[in-house]
Amino acid sequence: MRKVMSIDATGLNMLKELVADYNKSGSKLILCGVHTQPIFAIQQYGLADEIGEENIHGNIDDALDRARQILGLPKQGRPDDFVASVKREDHN
C-alpha cells in the first residue's frame, strides 16, 4: 500500500470485502507500506481488529517477517541498508 496516501469509504469497503474473503479461505492478509492516513482510517473503520494489528506494517521487510512467523520460519529482519518507504517509519 506504499502508494496509497489516503483511503476513503469506497476503499475501506473493498478492503473489508477482501479481508472477509481471506478469512473465509483461512488465509492471512498482511498489509505493508501503510501510510498514516490509511492506518487511521482502517482503525476508525474497525478493520484493524479484523486484519490484526500484527498484520499491518510500514515496510516490506517487517511484513515478510510476519509471513515467515505465520509459516513457522525464522525472521530475517531488516537489511543493514534499510530505508523507510513511508513517512511514519522515518525516525532518522
Q: What is the pLDDT of residue 83?
A: 76
Distance CA 50, CA 43 (A): 10
- What digits encode the pLDDT tens for the residues 43-73? 999 999 999 999 999 889 999 999 999 999 9
- Check residue 85 and report its DSSP letter: S
The mean pLDDT of the chain is 89
Q: Give burial (CB, 10 Å; 0-12/13-18/19+) of 44.
A: exposed
Residue ranges per domain, the chain?
9-76
- What digits encode the pLDDT tens for the residues 65-84? 999 999 999 998 888 887 77
Out of 2.40.37.10, 3.30.750.24, 3.30.870.10, 3.65.10.10, which CATH number does the structure's domain 9-76 have? 3.30.750.24
Report which of residues 26 and 79 the model is more confident about.
26
For 38, 55, 66, 68, the CA distances from 19, given in Å and listed in that order, are 15, 12, 17, 20
Residue 92 pLDDT exceeds 60: no
Residue 89 pLDDT exceeds 90: no
Residue 85 pLDDT exceeds 80: no
- CB count within 10 Å of CB 57 equals 21
